[in-house]
Amino acid sequence: SSEALPGVPSTKPAATFVGGSSHSAMDKASSRLSSTSCLSLVLPHCSLERSPPSRDGSRRPKSSGLHATSVTSLPPLADSIHTKRSKKWKGSVLSRVKPLNEAGEKRRFMLDFSHNPQFVYKRSLPSFVRKRYNSPSDELMPLALGIIRNVLRRYGSYEVHEEKNGGRVLSDAECLKTARMYLREQGISDVRVVVSRGLVPFAHMTHDKRGNTVLEMKSGVIREHRIQGLLNHEIGTHYLRARNDKLQPWSSKTGKRLYGLRDKNPTEEGLASLHSVLLRSRGPYLFHSALLYYSACMAHRLSFSELFYNLGQFIGSRDSQWDYCVRVKRGVMDTSKPGRRDLVCFVD
């Protein structure tokens, strides 16, 4: 809609947005939260006119009139890896933290649980990028543990929760069919969908060698009642945000500097996690995000083997325990040493 919201200027240039059909899943998710106004899935038009230079000569974005949307009123975000010009890095973190020898190390570990996997990577991450993930905060540990224990108290075990709320595991063909149907409903035709066995997370957005956008999903783990949330997470949040971003005045490097934009992840990953559970009629809990947060915090203190045993108090499946450990230890070569990666989804 081109109608301006109350209190928001309608001056040009206004932000431009693209999305799916008016009856899409994300629209339904948005309507469920309209009464509390705590989440908006379609951003309002807002003024992005240049303001006069400040005293130091730099330009700052003009206030839109809403305190919540003012860039300068937001609390400080985590430092981006692009903060210093001397340390810009355009590589993909995900492509560099995927262990090449995961299958072999898993076989060895399942024969000897005291073994700490020694992961091998095609290329290592720059040291300044690794440091970005080495300062975990356990501030939300009580909340995460509360979610985990309440869910386990309600269902009895991790496995029962998965079966009752997730439904049956979909075949690769069913995953591809569902994802392609979702893309058609959203009016998206430039995303290719593939299913892979060696993927660490359940799914992620990536690009092939030609630069084409690809949705990659993990084979044999995606359940029938979870795939909608997964698509809301990857396509409805990450992909549409990236596509919309290219249409905005701040899409260039100059625009990002002008409007003081920083790393998107401190907001986007948390929003995507919420989108994963909004439409679930069965158990809309942030159970997996809480488990991942707990695992990440403990991985900073424990070795791979110790973390595996520790997660046994919540997870009965050895395969699932392994998956959580790999998820938070990926990027680490010698997993006998403390260290971790994933934390952002639950924190945000």
Residue 279 CB burial class (10 angstroms; 0-12, 13-18, ≥19): middle
Catalytically active residues are: 234
- 205: helix, strand or coil: strand
- Report in angstroms the alpha-carbon separations of 240 from 48, 177, 224, 233, 336: 20, 20, 23, 10, 39
Query: In this structure, what are the phi and psi dihedrals at residue 39, rounded to the nearest 5 degrees?
Result: -155, 135
Helix (H, G, I), strand (E, B) or coil at 215: strand
Contact 61, 258 (CB under 8 A): yes
Distances (CA, A) of 206 to 118, 260, 266, 312, 325: 26, 26, 19, 32, 22
Place of tokens 């986007």: 268
Q: Which two tokens stand for residue 234?
A: 């990857």
CB under 8 A, 24+ apart: contacts of 198-205: 198/98, 198/102, 198/103, 200/97, 200/98, 200/99, 200/102, 200/323, 200/326, 200/327, 200/330, 201/327, 202/230, 203/230, 203/233, 203/234, 204/94, 204/234, 205/234, 205/235, 205/238, 205/239, 205/242
AA letter at 176 = L
Cα–Cα distance for residue pair 285/231, rounded to 1 Å? 17
The DSSP symbol for 164 reads: I
